[in-house]
Chain A
Amino acid sequence: EAQVTQNPRYLITVTGKKLTVTCSQNMNHEYMSWYRQDPGLGLRQIYYSMNVEVTDKGDVPEGYKVSRKEKRNFPLILESPSPNQTSLYFCASSLGQGYNEQFFGPGTRLTVL
């Protein structure tokens, strides 16, 4: 089944404790992206990647890191999480090469205390 998977689905952590949210897709998509969704603010792009080893900042990259060492994986790293990073996070992927219809993962609900 073609899908985007994220882990964990739910995470409660404390300020300053490094964490990684994994994202994997099995559709051989070139483009992958991370979003956060907050009430009243909608979906905001954190980082995106056009292909392996090619990443770029979205609209709200502060406090986040990403890497794209393999085509299928695009982990989101929070080196020192803070309470303002409490949010619902979505990973998405698309074919690229002009086809930008994105497929979303199930989401990760993160709470930073």
Chain B
Amino acid sequence: QKEVEQNSGPLSVPEGAIASLNCTYSDRGSQSFWYRQYSGKSPELIMSIYSNGDKEDGRFTAQLNKASQYVSLLIRDSQPSDSATYLCAVKEGGYQKVTFGTGTKLQVIP
């Protein structure tokens, strides 16, 4: 069974800094996803990344290394509104199951 590991945090960063979130997984993953979940709310997709390398979208950059089974999310110019739990998810090629990590809680300090 695939395992997706994340540091539970909390990760505290000052406003304006770069927040770095990491995720490792135990089996071959074909697609990786980052979701943000505010307390009491449902997860919302931030980014998906399917290929090795970097993918940028605004203040967010995802990095995927399939050989190392590692995916990360960088948040530049962190804002207090970024304070949330960030969930990493991985889908293994050829299968339809998506496995989620337990999430990293991010706190951006004003």
Contact = CB atoms under 8 A, between A and B. Distances in A.
Interface of A: 31, 33, 35, 40-45, 48, 50, 56, 58-59, 90, 100-107
Contact-residue bracket for chain B: 20 to 34
A16 to B, nearest CB: 29
B31 A45 contact: no
Interface of B: 1, 31, 33, 41-45, 48, 87, 89, 91, 96-103
Residue in B31, B42, B87, B97 whose Cβ sees the most chain A Cβ within 10 Å: B42
Contact of A42 (B41, B97, B103): B103
B26 to A, nearest CB: 14
Closest 10 interchain pairs by CB? A42-B102, A43-B100, A104-B42, A104-B43, A101-B48, A101-B45, A107-B42, A100-B91, A42-B100, A106-B42
Task: Summarize B's interface: helix, strand, loop or mixed.
Answer: strand
Contacts of B42: 90, 104-107
Contacts of B98: 33, 45, 100, 102
14 contacts: A31-B96, A40-B102, A41-B102, A42-B87, A42-B100, A45-B97, A45-B98, A48-B97, A100-B33, A101-B45, A101-B48, A102-B33, A102-B98, A104-B42
Contacts of A107: 41-42
B97 A58 contact: yes
A98 B96 CA distance: 9
B106 to A, nearest CB: 16
Among A40, A101, A106, the most chain B Cβ lie within 10 Å of the Cβ of A101
A56 B96 CA distance: 9
Given A42-B100, A45-B99, A56-B96, A90 B43 contact: yes
Contacts of B91: 100
A101 B33 CA distance: 7
B103 to A, nearest CB: 6
A107 B33 CA distance: 20
A104 B101 CA distance: 16
B33 A104 contact: no
